[in-house]
């Protein structure tokens, strides 16, 4: 039996053994149980991955013209220490420390240290000057400019620092008040990230310059950083062209072409990219897995900065345009590297012909004079006096044009004004009132007005409720004893206009746009069938041409964002109309008024459908989409051939016969000028004047109230083809918001669109152009 | 003059040197009795004596060589320097082992005053930075030309000697008042070192004191009461005494132990890195080359110093860790056996103290490396790089050998055996 002291020693030894045992148990757990997991983690630090940027796919027009492409470009950045002028001091200090050794350095007093630093400072100052000089030479700027840029950055950073310190002060004060203590001191040496980061001095430099700077940065560390800054180029965003003014309405005619500079050509279609990344992007396609921090998708989005399609095709075709990053994985221990090349994004071809698009935008350019209120639209009275109008002469109009290839459903041109570029300087309120942010061609909804007349006629004949050769007697009003509503537009006895159309066949009814004929058509079809035919022609559903994004609706349905389906009454609404006992409401739908609205694309597509005798082809803006040009006979409307022929004849008469609404403009002192007489071209067209909501005009003065103007939207929708062929090739829809009379405002623009088609070779005799 | 065969127990006459007090009896030895053989024996003869302290020496040598090899993994230059430090340490240990340790006991008052003065000196605000250069915000180093020196290292050894002297002088620590006085004595160096601040070094004193008072036979209930009190103090200290960064470290270690990786990139960075490197070593380690790459590219801070155990485990795996702890146990067995064989209460307690402080420091250091304890800046004795710390630990080895080589007669009995 050992003595008591020895027993105590044994106790201590036992404690030591137990402690060592516990430690060993933990080590065994780490090494054996979790060993592999920890090894995996630590091994990751031996691999350094760098990601190689990919090139975003190009956007091309139907002829292969580049509309948007990435161009490699570089930003040259300078470390803030250089900008702030503390670089040489930092370098001198590091050098002194290195030369003296860390221990010796640690023993020096502050004064001794600054003496050591000062001794080495001049050579570093010289080095810095040499680098500044090289930046100036390589960047093509002079020293004063470099200093100015440095000053600018210093000023900006100083502001940030002040703002940050202000925030800290506020927070400290708030805390002091909350806790009832005194305000804590803000540490003086606290820095913000901008004080540690490099800043861009030369933006968007080419490869050769970037390479020079790269060499410079490798020669002297902590000076320069060359950052990839790929630019998205849109060579057609700005277009300059000369418009021949000899064929314009005579008040605008001139022998000298008008030089126009168009901005934002097709920018509603092509769209733009953004570099800000939203949570929904990260949710949809993250680059890094949120929890593990591992790479989840090499093509995914980075939280800090990425290039993402924001609008237009850039947005809707984001997944095709976007590429996949490459990876270089270097093993730091062995120096071995594996390289996976980046995959460029896919090129996308649009159905748009960018030249045609430009000409069409030129026609809609108010500077040309067509998209403006002109006196010829208001007319002159019998005494030759200029009639007043709701909007002043010279008032600029916004509008939209769609040109559709009938055989394929390709959208050749799709213009909306103002363009995004034109709207970029506008106030938010003005953007809203001008509808600048919506693509009016596919998102703007307007009542169709008279342009539906031939469609409903063909529908009624196909339905069998109307004989194709029906003649109707226009007495000025539809209902027997009612003279105040459901009248023909020509009949305004209270204004002294009491002439009527008399007895009309359908061709003349279309050409003259007689309301009474089409009230009759609508009344024969009945409310439900009129609405059903509208729907068959596409109202109520967006086409999905490639400009909209399907979004899940809260009620479980799908909503198309960026494209509109228009408006048609649903069963409920129709029941309400019936219940109201209003007899005129159903028949108004026959002339495109009432609870019905569509987009310019719907109008063009409906006319293309008519030209195809009812065959439905989904229009589209992406050239290589799978369903391009596919006819869907099973869903063909199977329009009656005779009815289609008669309707087309009516449309033809509308422009050919002098009584046709689309035939001519009447200018001052009664001079008539043909509207669409382009040599070699056959036109089938219909004008439309559709009720517009009240237009509120800011009087410009604070004291006076806004002026509210009642006027109409102007439509001109038609089909064009080669004169000799005699069949339509393209459908055109022109809409001028608040343009008033369709023929007089939208007509001349349609004529310019037709001339543009001719100019671009679309209406030559030898078959259709531009269908690859 | 009788020695040896006279019962040690019993009352000796004459101008005895009173070494212990008990209510029942007094033990007196004359100086001649105490120092006869040891003083007269030649150094050469003494070196041939078998003493368990040689075990501790072997263990310390093994650990030091292991340390040099581990340091060379990432820092060959530092390893070479450490080799020089080791030689200096060995010489210093030999010097310390030469005069009888009882002389240190006589000089204990002077030594204590010197150490306390140095501990106060580093805290004086007007001392120029060329003499006391703050490192990592802590004023704990005195610049001495070729090798800087940390008064707290010296304080550890002097504290052990002082406590051993006191506990062997009286048995007052068996009363509550005496026990509290011992704790008070311990709080003096702790307080000064905490002020530097060097919390890690300060942490070593209480476990060392505990080991020594237990060996000296303090009352069980006092020890238990202390443990209970300490357990109560922990949450109180956490809530009211610790600074936010210290609290964050505790939070981090609790999270780390429970496998919660929340703090891995922040407060727990160093701990996680070390722990993962330790785990990466597996059972037999990854070898020198790969260990170098892993340690370097994982960016483990202080890898040659406080974190050297992570390098040991990464390079030699579980086997390396077990070997290291085995060496420490060998060191402890040697030291405790030295204490057991020694008949002089002062020598006994000093040996226990030396073992306890080394083992405590090892436990805290390796514990933090394998993710069981929060990170404190404390070196692994014998293994970590650093002249000052290596010298201090080798001074202790010298002291242990000193005690081992100066055994009183076999049949002497210490009052500690009662």
ipTM score assigned to the predicted complex: 0.87
Q: Are A754 and A681 in contact (CB under 8 A)?
A: yes
Shortest Cα distance, chain B CAs vs residue A19, angstroms? 8
Shortest Cα distance, chain A CAs vs residue B112, angstroms? 27
Q: Are A512 and A660 in contact (CB under 8 A)?
A: yes
Contact at CB, A39 and B143, closer than 8 angstroms: no
Report, as an integer, the average pLDDT of A51-79: 90
Q: Which chain B residues are within 8 Å of A26, Cβ to Cβ?
A: 370-372
For residue A542, is pLDDT > 70? yes
Residue A44 pLDDT: 84
Shortest CA distance to A436 belongs to which of A449, A454, A417?
Answer: A417
Q: Which chain B residues are within 8 Å of A108, Cβ to Cβ?
A: 130
Of A24, A32, A107, which is closest to B143 when you measure between CB atoms? A107
Contact at CB, A12 and B336, closer than 8 angstroms: yes
Contact at CB, B313 and A37, closer than 8 angstroms: no
Confidence of residue A447 (pLDDT cuts 50, 70, 90): very high
Nearest chain B residue to A292 by CA distance is: B261
Of A23, A31, A332, which is closest to B282 when you measure between CB atoms? A31
Contact at CB, A333 and B290, closer than 8 angstroms: yes
Q: Which chain B residues are within 8 Å of A30, Cβ to Cβ?
A: 275, 278-279, 313, 370-371
Contact at CB, B328 and A20, closer than 8 angstroms: yes
Q: Which chain B residues are within 8 Å of A46, Cβ to Cβ?
A: 293-294, 297
- The pTM score is 0.68
> For residues B124-161, b (16+ Cβ closer than 10 Å) or e, as one string?
eeeeeeeebbeeeebbbbbbeeeebbbbbbbbbbbbbb
Count CA atoms closer than 13 A to B197's CA, side-chain side: 7
pLDDT top residue among A591 and A705: A591
For residue A712, is pLDDT > 80? yes
The contacts of residue A332 (CB under 8 Å, 6+ apart) are A45, A46, A47, A48, B293, B297
Give dist(CA B60, CA A218) in Å, integer.
Answer: 48
Interface size A-B, in CB pairs within 8 Å, comes to: 131
Contact at CB, A4 and B129, closer than 8 angstroms: no
Cα distances (angstroms) measured from residue A184 to each of A175, A188, B239, B316:
9, 12, 21, 50
Q: Identify from B297, B315, B343 which residue to disrupt to test chain A contact, counting A C-beta atoms within 10 A and taking the largest count.
A: B297
Q: Which chain B residues are within 8 Å of A6, Cβ to Cβ?
A: 340, 417
Shortest Cα distance, chain B CAs vs residue A14, angstroms? 10
What is the pLDDT tens value at each position of chain B, 418 positions in all?
Answer: 334 344 443 333 333 344 444 434 444 444 444 444 444 455 566 666 778 999 999 999 999 999 999 999 988 889 999 999 999 999 999 999 988 888 888 899 999 999 999 988 888 877 777 777 776 667 778 877 666 788 888 899 999 999 999 888 877 778 888 888 888 889 999 988 888 878 888 889 999 999 999 998 888 888 888 889 888 888 887 877 777 777 777 777 787 777 777 666 666 777 888 888 999 999 999 999 899 988 888 878 788 888 999 999 999 999 999 999 999 999 999 999 999 888 888 999 999 999 999 999 999 999 999 988 888 888 999 999 988 889 999 999 999 999 998 865 544 456 666 5
Helical H runs in B75-204? Answer: 76-97, 101-106, 108-123, 151-169, 176-195, 199-202
> For residues B380-390, b (16+ Cβ closer than 10 Å) or e, as one string?
bbbbbbbbbbb
**Cross-sheet strand order for the sheet of A337-340:** A47-52, A326-331, A337-340
Nearest chain B residue to A39 by CA distance is: B280
Residue B11 pLDDT: 38
pLDDT top residue among B235 and A144: A144
- How far is it between the farthest Cα atoms of chain A? 141
**Cα A625 from chain centroid (whole Å):** 19
Q: What is the 3-state secondary structure (H, E, C) of A614-627?
A: CCCCCCECECCCCC
């Amino acid at each position: 039996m050992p003595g008591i002291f020895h027993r105590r020693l044994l106790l201590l030894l036992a404690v030591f053994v137990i402690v060592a045992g516990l430690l060993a148990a933990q080590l065994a757990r780490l090494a054996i149980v979790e060993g592999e997991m920890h090894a995996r983690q630590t091994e990751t630090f031996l691999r350094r991955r760098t990601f190689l940027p990919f090139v975003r796919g190009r956007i091309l027009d139907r002829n292969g013209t580049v509309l948007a492409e990435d161009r490699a470009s570089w930003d040259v950045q300078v470390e803030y220490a250089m900008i702030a002028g503390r670089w040489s001091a930092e370098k001198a200090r590091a050098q002194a420390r290195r030369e003296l050794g860390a221990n010796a350095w640690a023993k020096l007093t502050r004064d001794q240290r600054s003496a050591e630093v000062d001794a080495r400072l001049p050579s570093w100052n010289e080095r810095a000057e040499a680098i500044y000089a090289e930046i100036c030479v390589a960047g093509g700027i002079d020293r004063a400019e470099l200093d100015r840029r440095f000053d600018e950055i210093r000023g900006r950073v100083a502001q940030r620092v002040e703002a940050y310190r202000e925030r800290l002060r506020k927070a400290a004060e708030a805390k002091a008040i909350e806790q009832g203590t005194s305000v804590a001191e803000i540490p003086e040496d606290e820095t913000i990230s901008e004080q540690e980061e490099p800043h861009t001095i030369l933006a968007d430099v080419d490869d050769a310059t970037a390479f020079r700077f790269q060499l410079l940065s490798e020669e002297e560390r902590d000076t320069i950083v060359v950052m990839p800054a790929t630019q998205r180029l849109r060579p057609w965003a700005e277009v300059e062209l000369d418009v021949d003014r000899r064929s314009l309405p005579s008040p605008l005619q001139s022998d000298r072409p008008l030089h126009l500079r168009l901005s934002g050509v097709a920018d509603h279609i092509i769209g733009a990219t953004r570099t800000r990344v939203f949570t929904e992007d990260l949710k949809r396609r993250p680059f890094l897995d949120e929890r593990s921090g591992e790479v989840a998708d090499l093509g995914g989005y980075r939280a800090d900065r990425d290039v993402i399609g924001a609008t237009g095709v850039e947005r809707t075709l984001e997944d095709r345009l976007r590429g996949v990053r490459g990876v270089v994985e270097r093993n730091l221990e062995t120096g071995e590297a594996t390289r996976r090349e980046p995959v460029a994004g896919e090129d996308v071809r649009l159905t748009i012909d960018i030249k045609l698009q430009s000409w069409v935008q030129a026609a809609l350019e108010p500077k040309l004079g067509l998209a403006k209120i002109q006196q010829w639209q208001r007319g002159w009275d019998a005494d030759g006096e200029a009639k007043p109008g709701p909007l002043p002469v010279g008032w600029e109009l916004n509008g939209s044009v769609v040109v559709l290839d009938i055989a394929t459903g390709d959208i050749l041109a799709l213009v909306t004004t103002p363009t995004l570029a034109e709207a970029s300087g506008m106030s938010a309120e003005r953007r809203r009132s001008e509808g600048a942010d919506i693509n009016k061609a596919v998102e703007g909804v307007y009542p169709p007005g008279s342009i539906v007349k031939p469609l409903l006629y063909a529908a009624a004949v196909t339905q069998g409720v109307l004989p194709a050769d029906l003649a109707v007697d226009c007495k000025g009003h539809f209902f027997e004893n009612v003279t105040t509503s459901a009248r023909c537009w020509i009949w305004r006895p209270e204004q002294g206009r009491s002439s009527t159309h008399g007895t009309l066949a359908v061709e003349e009814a279309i050409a003259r746009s007689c309301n009474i004929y089409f009230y009759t058509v609508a009344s024969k079809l009945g409310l439900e069938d009129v609405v059903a035919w509208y729907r068959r022609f596409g109202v109520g559903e967006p086409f999905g041409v490639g400009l909209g994004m399907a979004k899940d609706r809260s009620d479980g349905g799908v909503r198309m964002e960026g494209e509109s389906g228009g408006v048609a009454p649903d069963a409920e609404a129709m029941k309400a109309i019936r219940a109201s006992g209003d007899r005129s409401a159903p028949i108004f739908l026959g002339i495109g008024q009432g609870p019905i609205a569509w987009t310019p694309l719907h109008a063009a597509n409906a006319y293309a459908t008519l030209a195809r005798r009812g065959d439905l082809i989904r229009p589209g803006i992406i050239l290589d989409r799978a369903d391009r040009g596919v006819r869907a006979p099973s869903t063909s409307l199977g329009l009656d051939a005779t009815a289609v022929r008669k309707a087309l004849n009516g449309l033809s008469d509308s422009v050919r016969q002098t009584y046709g609404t689309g035939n001519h403009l009447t200018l001052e002192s009664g001079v008539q000028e043909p509207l669409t007489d382009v040599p070699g071209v056959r036109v089938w067209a219909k004008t439309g004047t559709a009720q517009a909501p009240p237009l509120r005009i800011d009087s410009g003065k604070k004291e006076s109230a806004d002026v509210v103007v009642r006027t109409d939207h102007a439509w001109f929708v038609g089909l064009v083809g080669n004169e000799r062929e005699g069949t339509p090739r393209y459908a055109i829809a022109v809409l001028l918001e608040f343009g008033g009379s369709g023929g007089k405002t939208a007509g001349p623009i349609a004529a310019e669109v037709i001339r543009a088609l001719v100019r671009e070779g679309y209406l030559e005799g030898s078959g259709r152009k531009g269908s690859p | 003059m009788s020695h040896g065969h006279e019962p040690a127990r019993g009352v000796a006459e004459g101008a005895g040197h009173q070494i212990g007090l008990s209510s029942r009896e007094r033990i007196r030895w004359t100086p001649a009795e105490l120092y006869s053989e040891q003083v007269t024996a030649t150094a050469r003869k003494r070196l041939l004596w078998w003493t368990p302290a040689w075990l501790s020496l072997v263990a310390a040598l093994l650990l030091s060589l292991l340390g040099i090899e581990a340091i060379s993994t990432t820092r060959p230059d530092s390893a070479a320097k450490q080799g020089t430090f080791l030689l200096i340490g060995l010489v210093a240990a030999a010097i310390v082992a030469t005069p009888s340790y009882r002389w240190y006991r006589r000089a204990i008052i002077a030594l204590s005053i010197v150490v306390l003065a140095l501990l106060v000196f580093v805290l004086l605000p007007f001392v120029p930075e060329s003499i006391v250069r703050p490192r990592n915000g802590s004023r704990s180093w005195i610049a001495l030309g070729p090798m800087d020196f940390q008064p707290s290292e010296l304080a550890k050894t002097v504290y052990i000697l002082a406590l051993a002297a006191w506990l062997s002088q009286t048995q007052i620590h068996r009363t509550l008042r005496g026990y509290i006085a011992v704790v008070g004595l311990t709080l003096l160096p702790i307080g000064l070192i905490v002020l530097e601040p060097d919390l890690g070094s300060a942490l070593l004193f209480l476990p060392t004191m505990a080991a020594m008072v237990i060996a000296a036979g303090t009352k069980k209930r006092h020890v238990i009461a202390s443990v209970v009190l300490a357990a109560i103090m922990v949450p109180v200290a956490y809530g009211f005494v610790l600074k936010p960064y210290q609290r964050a470290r505790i939070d981090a270690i609790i999270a780390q132990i429970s496998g919660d990786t929340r703090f891995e990139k922040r407060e727990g960075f160093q701990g996680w890195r070390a722990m993962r490197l330790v785990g990466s070593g597996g059972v037999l380690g990854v070898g020198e080359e790969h260990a170098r790459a892993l340690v370097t590219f994982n960016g483990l801070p202080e890898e040659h110093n406080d974190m050297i155990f992570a390098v040991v485990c990464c390079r030699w795996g579980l086997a390396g860790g077990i070997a290291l702890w085995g060496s420490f146990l060998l060191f402890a067995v040697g030291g405790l056996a030295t204490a057991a064989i020694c008949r002089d209460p002062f020598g006994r307690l000093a040996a226990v103290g030396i073992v306890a402080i080394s083992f405590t420091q090892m436990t805290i250091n390796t514990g933090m490396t394998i993710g069981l304890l929060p990170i404190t800046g404390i070196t692994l004795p014998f293994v970590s790089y650093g002249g000052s710390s290596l010298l201090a630990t080798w001074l202790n080895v010298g002291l242990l050998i000193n005690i081992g080589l100066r055994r009183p007669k076999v049949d002497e009995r210490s009052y500690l055996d009662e």
